[in-house]
Structure 1
Amino acid sequence: MSLLLRQVELEEAVVDVRIEGDRIVEIGAGLCGSSRVVEARGGTLLPGLHDHHLHLFAMAAAMASIDCSESLDALATAPVNEGWVRGFGTASTPDRHDLDAVRSDVPVRVQHRSGALWMLNSRALAEVSSWLDGTADVERDKHGEPTGRLFRYDARLRAALPSTLPDLGGVVARLHRYGITGVTDATPDLSPAAVEALTALSGIRVTLLGGLTGPRKLLLRDHDLPTYDDLVQVIGGTHAAGRPVAVHCVTPESLLLTLAALREVGSVPGDRIEHAAVVPIGIAEALAALGLAVVTQPSFLRLRGDEYLRDLDREDIARLYPYRSLLDAGVRVAASSDAPYGDADPWRTMADAAARRTRRGRVLGPRERVNPVEVLTGYLSPPDDPGGAARRVEVGALADLCLLKAPLRSGEPQVRAVVVGGEAFEQP
């Protein structure tokens, strides 16, 4: 099958782009001879955007769940799905008794908006009791009974739940509306069934951090960090197996521990830091010296900034989700969403990186502001090199493309179509 994108704006010229199979084969004026034509009408053509850190199954689950960001009361009348009620997005941390007061007739689980904590009512605890262990991840009251709060318990909790994987068609369609043609799923320790489903997903290219190949996600639990020796051993073993690491670092402590371990074992191409939510002064240069990429989430400044101002130390707030200082130090940086915990819209994320404003209008770290075009460059960087040189629309390139309805410079971008592997998906 051949595809013709007619009259696209490409590098300030209006041209046609012809695609055969999954490759761009010709760029020029007045092209013809394709079996399908998409009229661009002067809209800018870009490489397809790549979100370098999100969670596809969690996005699908969130789309089918109850939004508790405003209140838990919505759980009271929520529909039951496979015997459970699932909520997400709350900033509060109710225990099982709090949830029982809202809904006690069926098992209820609610995910904290950070993604780091699950909260279960009593019926839900009874369902998964055989899967609870005695680690610090299961909070217990003074009598030794579980409170219903499970920290970083995703993999073990998942094993106790109904096993049907959610359909991802709606998630892919949503990502297409944003111009996204590829993603890096950052969920650690995926099951074989999940890996199979993600690698077979059509309409979008998927890189995994939780599979058996490619970068390996290391989730450092901030309330229970590994020892230095243990982390050195894990990173060294991962490198010896031919894989880079992608290390979850939210606190300064986890970041400093990771850098110390990487200095010990040495970094390899593809090593990356996920989040780097707080970067102490002088550490940007250390990240650059090790050749590490940073995958950051500017949308959290808008979504959670007012709470950061309330809860964090002033020193941490000054170094929160840095961007400009990392670029200036020579660190490769790519923005991402961490959806569903952050905003999946890359264009909104670009605006957030430039404004750095909370919902209430407070500015966090104005010196860390970056131009939206610089953030876009990160979205155009290759999946295996976040923050690297942007992919280009050129003959021979893979036909993963984002076509806008108007020139990029004209204002807020709207997507006319995406092309994935030569197949066009036109948007309403």
Structure 2
Amino acid sequence: MPDVSGLTFSGARLLDGRVVDVTVSGGLITAVTPAGELPAVGEHVELDGHLLIPGLWDRHTHFAQWAQSSRRVQLGDAESAADAAGVLAAHAEAHPDGAVVGVGFRDALWPDRPHFSLLDDALSPGGVSDDADPERKVIAISADLHTVWLNSAALRAHGFYEHPSGVLREQDAFAVIDALGDVSVDTVDRWAHEAAEAAAARGVVGIVDFDMDFAPDAWRRRFAAGFDELRVEAAFYPQDREQAFALDLPSGTPLEESGLLVLGPLKVITDGSLNTRTAYCDAPYPGRSGDDRFGLLTVPPNELAPLLALSARRGIHAAVHAIGDHAVAYALDCFGATGARGTIEHAQLLRPEDLPRFAELGVTASVQPEHAMDDRDVADRYWRGRTGRAFPLRSLLDAGAQLAFGSDAPVAPLDPWLAIASAVFRTRGGRTAWHGEQRLTLQQAVQASVRSSIAVGQPADLVVLGADPRAADVAELRSQPVVATMVAGRFSYDAIR
């Protein structure tokens, strides 16, 4: 991005209806005045009434996974295990070399169950053929990243011998995803650069990255190579805490010269997901009678509380993944007991009595509104009778909670307008609104998507819109046009000048 030493946006319309001139210099907003009151400073960009909003953030991404996902076999439309296996088989036939990696399947509503034998057959339809490679791996990653489905060769390659189904969940799944290594670091970094450019074109100025590799090192490498399209908060996981603590830095501290990259929070995953039926809930999942009938508690309170306390002493925020109502409740207990600061990631199913605790404890609800649209049918089946408190965005806001929107990309696309539209309309694709009482206003949804404001002294992170979202229907809001994005006073996307 070329450096901009001084620039004035003239005739900018704000969401509150004001028409102003906005001057930026040195990466900050230096003046906001009524339109035409003062001469323009530096370069003059006439907005002629275009809406100007603060830069948008995605507060929950797995960026390297997102950068790679579009280049893998897409399974999002598969309606059964057999259907998904057929898609993988077609890809294997068209691409005879290398591992076959699919992404995006959602099996919670499938009529059949995934099994390694289906994927074995994908490489040799009708039975083992003479020219089939018995060591060619087939791996399918679920949309929520909490399940992987492997063929026999992939099971062996990852050390899972004599596995009964080939379907791995939670920690085993994460280990496989982390170990894939099917592309080089240089290639992933190039794809990350391309993904960042695409995000900038949708008005994104910053992300919080929860990739499972040690994200601070990955991002320092990218910034050293010239990456500058986004602000990045690079998180880390408990297994890397000693490496992160060795930096001896609190959350928010810059990790390189530009100041765009900072140390993010400690991420702790305490339960599973809805689609994998491992989110830890008060009530059992229908049809389940085993030890996992309530879901899975992967980090119990006696482990979570010490982690949060240790992080708090070091000035490091915590990002606690908790989806089920039981997991959210105990995560809030641990925040309260330790005085830690941070977020609960997802917070998809909540006890009513836990709603006000977010504000009381100063814990942000980091939520992904597009997941409500992805999961509404699954929730109606597996959280039947409880969906009035599922994805309760309005209830959280009314209880005083601070909301922070994200995508969880690649679980949902890295596009903040999808989250905004889902929060405002609670529907997509022509369906009736799902629990429309939980809708937010456009202003509230945008506020949950930004981390700055248009005021003197604020970062010059700005977005120029190509249409007025206040008049948009759901389809129009999901595809909201963006004509310019500015990060720290420099254009990361520019279709206006």
- Shorter chain as denominator, the TM-score bin is 0.7 to 0.9
* Aligned mates of 2:72, 2:18 — CA distance in 1: 45
Match in the other structure for 1:292:
363
1:177 counterpart letter in structure 2: A
Q: Is the 8 A contact 1:139 1:150 kept in 2?
A: no
State the SS of the aligned residue for 1:373.
Answer: helix
Q: CA deviation at 1:181?
A: 0.7
1:19 counterpart letter in structure 2: V
Match in the other structure for 1:202:
228
Q: Is the 8 A contact 2:140 2:148 kept in 1?
A: yes
Q: Is the 8 A contact 1:306 1:360 kept in 2?
A: no
CA deviation profile, 1:142-199 (whole Å, cap 9, x unmatched): xxxx725343432454235346231212211221222111111133452564243465
- Tell me which stretches of 4 or more aligned residues in structure 1 moved more than 6 Å: none
CA deviation profile, 1:371-406 (whole Å, cap 9, x unmatched): 1210111112x3xxxxxxxx2223332211101124
Using a 3 Å threshold, how does the CA distance of structure 1 residues 351 and 122 change in structure 2: closer, same or farther?
A: same
* Aligned mates of 1:357, 1:409 — CA distance in 2: 17
1:179 to 183, 194, 203: 203
Match in the other structure for 2:23:
18
Task: Give the TM-score, by structure 2 length.
Answer: 0.74
State the SS of the aligned residue for 1:140.
Answer: coil
1:326 to 381, 389, 396: 396
Quick check: 238-247 or 364-373, which moved more? 364-373
Q: Is the 8 A contact 1:62 1:340 kept in 2?
A: yes
Match in the other structure for 1:147:
166
Q: Is the 8 A contact 1:334 1:375 kept in 2?
A: no
State the SS of the aligned residue for 1:215.
Answer: strand
Quick check: 118-127 or 1-10, which moved more? 1-10
State the SS of the aligned residue for 2:58.
Answer: strand
* Aligned mates of 2:444, 2:334 — CA distance in 1: 30
1:215 to 254, 260, 265: 265
Match in the other structure for 2:154:
124
The question of 1:94 aligning with 2:114 is answered yes
Counterparts of 1:306-385 in structure 2, within 5 Å, are 306-315=377-386, 317-357=387-427, 361-380=431-450, 382=451
2:232 counterpart letter in structure 1: V
Q: Is the 8 A contact 1:405 1:415 kept in 2?
A: yes
Match in the other structure for 1:227:
300
Match in the other structure for 1:60:
67
CA deviation profile, 1:345-371 (whole Å, cap 9, x unmatched): 322322211222365725433322211
2:28 counterpart letter in structure 1: R
State the SS of the aligned residue for 1:235.
Answer: helix
Task: Give the TM-score, by structure 1 length.
Answer: 0.85
Q: Which runs of 5+ in 1 are unaligned?
A: 133-137, 383-390
The question of 1:238 aligning with 2:306 is answered no
2:13 to 9, 14, 20: 9
Q: Is the 8 A contact 1:303 1:359 kept in 2?
A: no
CA deviation profile, 1:184-220 (whole Å, cap 9, x unmatched): 1133452564243465532110112227343211111
State the SS of the aligned residue for 1:203.
Answer: coil
1:237 counterpart letter in structure 2: L
2:116 counterpart letter in structure 1: R
Match in the other structure for 1:74:
87
Match in the other structure for 1:387:
none
* Aligned mates of 2:304, 2:99 — CA distance in 1: 37
State the SS of the aligned residue for 1:169.
Answer: helix
Q: CA deviation at 1:48?
A: 0.5
Q: CA deviation at 1:283?
A: 0.9
Quick check: 186-195 or 335-344, which moved more? 186-195
Q: What do you get for the CA RMSD once the two structures are aligned? A: 2.8
Q: Is the 8 A contact 1:304 1:358 kept in 2?
A: no
CA deviation profile, 1:87-138 (whole Å, cap 9, x unmatched): 1111126232111222364322211011111122223233333xx5xxxxx9
Match in the other structure for 2:56:
49
Paired residues in the alignment total: 404
* Aligned mates of 1:82, 1:20 — CA distance in 2: 52
Match in the other structure for 1:404:
465
State the SS of the aligned residue for 2:320.
Answer: strand
Q: Which runs of 5+ in 2 are unaligned?
A: 79-83, 108-112, 125-132, 238-243, 245-262, 273-295
The question of 1:418 aligning with 2:485 is answered yes
* Aligned mates of 2:41, 2:162 — CA distance in 1: 65
* Aligned mates of 1:336, 1:376 — CA distance in 2: 12
* Aligned mates of 1:281, 1:259 — CA distance in 2: 13
Q: Is the 8 A contact 2:200 2:485 kept in 1?
A: yes
2:398 counterpart letter in structure 1: D
Q: CA deviation at 1:50?
A: 1.0
CA deviation profile, 1:279-321 (whole Å, cap 9, x unmatched): 0121112222212110111112222212221232312x12101
2:17 counterpart letter in structure 1: E
* Aligned mates of 1:409, 1:310 — CA distance in 2: 34
The question of 1:113 aligning with 2:113 is answered no
Match in the other structure for 2:47:
40
Q: CA deviation at 1:277?
A: 0.6
CA deviation profile, 1:199-255 (whole Å, cap 9, x unmatched): 553211011222734321111134243332222222222222221211000111211
Quick check: 271-280 or 181-190, which moved more? 181-190
State the SS of the aligned residue for 1:338.
Answer: coil
* Aligned mates of 1:94, 1:176 — CA distance in 2: 37
* Aligned mates of 1:198, 1:319 — CA distance in 2: 41
1:102 counterpart letter in structure 2: A
Using a 3 Å threshold, how does the CA distance of structure 1 residues 81 and 355 change in structure 2: closer, same or farther?
A: farther
* Aligned mates of 1:328, 1:365 — CA distance in 2: 16
